[in-house]
Amino acid sequence: MLSAGRSTHDLPLDPMQESGQSQVFVAFDAAALGGDTERIADDVVRALKALPEGEGGGVRYPGEKVVRLREENLRLGVPVVEERWRELLELTR
């Protein structure tokens, strides 16, 4: 409603036809809220991880996959499709 876009029930089932989604992102400085915010966040993650796994695997919190992929890419390098890498090198010549 805040962005005047479509809500989830208004989106077509075909992902290629998705457009005009209603998205609003709000960020808070948790430290400014006071209290033991780091412990609370850790408790929330522990509670999520304690849930039973479903068909698609375990429950993930927003951004968890990004953190894991970044750590993996730093350790092993960023995966690149070899053909695309060659094309990119060719463009730099």
In SS3 terms, the chain reads as CCCCCECHHHCCCCHHHCCCECCCCCCCCHHHHCCCHHHHHHHHHHHHHCCCCECCECCCCCCHHHHHHHHHHHHHCCCCCHHHHHHHHHHCC
Beta bridge partners of 6: 21
At 1, the pLDDT band (50, 70, 90 cuts) reads low
At 71, the pLDDT band (50, 70, 90 cuts) reads very high
The pLDDT, as a whole number, for residue 5 is: 77
The pLDDT, as a whole number, for residue 41 is: 86
Report pTM: 0.47
pLDDT in tens, 10-63: 777 887 777 777 777 888 887 888 888 888 889 999 998 898 888 777 888 888
At 79, the pLDDT band (50, 70, 90 cuts) reads very high
The mean pLDDT value for 81-85 works out to 94
Burial class (CB in 10 A: 0-12, 13-18, 19+), 32: exposed
49 near 59, Cβ under 8 Å? yes
The pLDDT, as a whole number, for residue 74 is: 97
